[in-house]
């Protein structure tokens, strides 16, 4: 029995691969390396139970070939973890094709190939971006779902395609809606960007917006633990769960300060102004994880802990590369 992970070389995918191997799974990782890097899988690549295949999942024939090469001698793929997507929200605002291709078509093709190969279980990395900009605390019941980014729109379309596939052929589906995830091996995101700016401009640190944007943050180790917990425990055929911290989040100005602390530098912050970082950015939201808590899982870290830990991990990684 094999487990397929798409986006395996990316930030979250690579941490998930490590945990799945620890649980004794035989894992095939797919990635086209637009953002993911082989070095994220350094430990996994030492395992005889892990295979990494370069593949553009947005191309159906390329995906079918990558899957079929592992289905010889009666092998079966039991479960697909779909982590591949465009993770650069502003890129999808500039050119919506980016999200159509890497966020939606990857999901669409995967479902098509799964149906024809009789693979009946999928876990999907959706996003808090499906909720759009709503003032209320966001729970799985919140609606109407009107995303304000093309990324969020294509994630919502992916959820819809999975729901339709569950009616047609899937036995089980897990849809995880999470907000910002932080931690080592980051390939993007606020801490990663701030550390990059700090390296290029050591005299002050530019922060997008007015610094008052406030969002919940989850450490990647807790995200992976929660996804596996839900997979093990949730009873529903389509298990749709918010995953996040219990608190209301951290302001961007505080994240920038955590980055300066982790990098051990003392320079001024320079805000670009405005209430949001970019078009499609949801500047403030609060999250409900009551459903997940009722299932029996709660995070140990608050947003501020996750930010501090991730800033230290990423600063250390950057130091190792220079
Ligand atoms: N990081 C977050 O804060 C966050 C929040 C909510 C949801 N998500 C979702 O979680 C998943 C993982 O995100 P991440 O932060 O690890 O991003 P990431 O960019 O590090 O990982 C995504 C991986 O998918 C790969 N990929 C993209 N298009 C592909 C294609 N056409 N074919 C094959 N591989 C392709 C990329 O190379 C990358 O390695 C994504 O679906 C993302 O939308 C992430």
Walking along the chain (322 residues) 10 residues at a time, the average pLDDT comes out as 96 98 98 97 98 97 95 92 95 94 98 98 97 95 96 98 98 97 93 95 94 95 98 98 97 97 95 88 92 98 98 92 69
Q: Is 36 in the pocket of ligand 1 (CB under 6 A)?
A: yes
> In this predicted structure, what is the pLDDT of residue 181?
97
What is the CA(244)–ligand 1 centre distance, in A? Answer: 17
Determine if the pTM surpasses 0.85: yes
> In this predicted structure, what is the pLDDT of residue 216?
96
> In this predicted structure, what is the pLDDT of residue 167?
98
Alpha carbon distance 57, 85 (integer Å): 10
Alpha carbon distance 23, 173 (integer Å): 20
Q: Is 149 in the pocket of ligand 1 (CB under 6 A)?
A: no
Contacts of 167 (CB under 8 A, 6+ apart): none
> In this predicted structure, what is the pLDDT of residue 322?
64
Q: Is 102 in the pocket of ligand 1 (CB under 6 A)?
A: yes
E-assigned strand segments in the chain: 2-6, 26-31, 50-54, 77-82, 121-127, 172-178, 180-182, 205-207, 214-215, 217-219, 238-242, 250-251, 269-271
Ligand 1, residue 56: give the atom nearest the CA.
32
What is the CA(129)–ligand 1 centre distance, in A? Answer: 14
> In this predicted structure, what is the pLDDT of residue 154?
98
Whose tokens are 């959820």? That residue is 159
Residue 47 backbone dihedrals phi, psi, to 5 degrees: -85, 135
Q: Is 51 in the pocket of ligand 1 (CB under 6 A)?
A: no
Ligand 1, residue 33: give the atom nearest the CA.
37
Alpha carbon distance 238, 244 (integer Å): 19
């Amino acid at each position: 029995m094999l487990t397929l992970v798409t986006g395996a070389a990316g930030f979250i995918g690579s941490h998930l691969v490590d945990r799945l191997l620890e649980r004794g799974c035989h894992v095939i990782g797919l990635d086209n390396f637009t953002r993911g890097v082989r070095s994220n899988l350094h430990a996994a690549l030492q395992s005889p139970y892990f295979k990494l295949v370069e593949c553009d999942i947005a191309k159906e024939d390329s995906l079918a070939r990558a899957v079929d090469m592992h289905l010889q001698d009666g092998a079966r793929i039991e479960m697909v973890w779909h982590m591949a997507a465009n993770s650069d929200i502003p890129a999808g605002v500039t050119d919506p094709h980016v999200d159509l291709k890497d966020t939606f078509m990857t999901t669409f093709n995967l479902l098509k190939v799964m149906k024809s190969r009789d693979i009946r279980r999928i876990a999907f990395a959706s996003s808090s971006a499906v909720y759009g900009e709503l003032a209320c605390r966001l729970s799985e019941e919140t609606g109407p779902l009107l995303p304000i980014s093309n990324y969020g729109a294509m994630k919502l379309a992916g959820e819809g395609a999975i729901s339709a596939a569950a009616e047609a052929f899937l036995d089980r589906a897990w849809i995880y809606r999470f907000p910002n995830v932080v931690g080592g091996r980051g390939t993007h995101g606020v801490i990663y960007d701030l550390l990059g700016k700090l390296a290029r401009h050591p005299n002050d640190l530019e922060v997008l917006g007015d610094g008052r944007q406030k969002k919940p943050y989850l450490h990647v180790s807790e995200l992976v633990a929660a996804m596996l917990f839900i997979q093990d425990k949730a009873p529903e055929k389509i298990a749709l769960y918010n995953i996040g911290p219990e608190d209301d989040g951290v302001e961007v100005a505080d994240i920038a300060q955590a980055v300066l602390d982790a990098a051990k530098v003392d320079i001024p912050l320079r805000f670009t102004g405005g209430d949001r970082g970019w078009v499609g950015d949801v500047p403030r939201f609060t999250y409900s994880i009551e459903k997940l808590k009722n299932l029996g899982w709660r995070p140990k870290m608050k947003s501020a802990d996750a930010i501090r830990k991730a800033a230290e991990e990423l600063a250390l990684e950057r130091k190792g590369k220079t």
